[in-house]
Amino acid sequence: MRAIDAGLMICHECHQLNPIEEQSSKQFCSRCGGHLHARKPNSLARTWALLLTAALLYIPANALPIMTVNSLGKGQSDTIMSGVIELVNYGMLPIAAVVFIASILVPTFKLVGITLLLYSVQRHQPMSARQRVLMYRFIEWIGRWSMLDIFVIAILVALVNFGSLASIEPGYGAMAFASVVVLTMLAALTFDPRLIWDNTDYDHE
């Protein structure tokens, strides 16, 4: 049984359970005074907007150079994938695997995973609610690892700055990739997981 079926709403701020007042259009938490909502307002629309924007930015994030290495007056620009290939060519397979997973697989999984969650909730697809919850929790958990590539670039830019001898500059791909990571994290936060259990036969899960 859901809390709303028992006549209760949970506060987003302090997680206090409050009885639903049928005669009141606006209701506030009895403990902290926060505005109560049975579900996050416009959760699906906001999540779709953030997700589609992230998907559009994911194209330049992979197509544009993520950083440029200047050495003795010569510059070499690398995208995420070309950087992974260079690491493989230099025999740095573990590092290449970490960059590939954090920068290619994780963002792709987040985009696909959130899309599946939204589609299954809106279209009431025959997918176990517990499977959706596990997918949502996994998406939230792996979100933090997507910024690994950006952290590495930021450290390299700060450390490698020897004028005309050697320097590293971030590319437009890095900004697009950072935007994708932030937008997918916001999409996961905007999505209301309680929608997973709405119109679901949770008594037989």
* Domain count of the fold of the chain: 2
Same structural domain, 87 and 178: yes
Mean residue pLDDT of the chain comes to: 79
114 and 176 share a domain? yes
Query: Over 70: is that where the pLDDT of 75 sits?
Result: no
Are 26 and 50 in the same domain? no
For residue 2, pLDDT beyond 70: no
Least confident of 39-43, 66-70, 123-127: 123-127
Residues 29 and 124 in one domain: no
Share above pLDDT 90 across residues of the chain, in percent, rounded to a whole number: 11
8 lies in the same domain as 26: yes
Whether residues 54 and 149 fall in one domain: yes
**Which band of pLDDT confidence, cut at 50, 70 and 90, is reported for residue 202?**
very low
Same domain, 87 and 134: yes
pLDDT of 105 strictly over 80? yes
Residues 67 and 163 in one domain: yes
pLDDT tens-digit readout, 151-201: 766 776 666 565 555 666 778 888 898 899 889 989 988 888 888 777 555
Count CA atoms closer than 13 A to 29's CA, side-chain side.
16
**15 plus 90 within the same structural domain:** no
- Which comes out higher in pLDDT, residue 122 or 76? 122
Q: How far apart are the first and last CA of the chain?
A: 11
Domain that holds residue 68: 42-204
Do 181 and 93 reside in the same domain of the chain? yes
The model's pLDDT over 112-166, given as tens digits with 9 standing for 90+, comes to 989 988 888 887 766 677 778 888 888 878 776 767 767 766 776 666 565 555 6
Instruction: Kindly tell me if the per-residue pLDDT of 56 is higher than 90.
Output: yes
Is the pLDDT assigned to residue 61 strictly greater than 50? yes
pLDDT score of 58 = 92
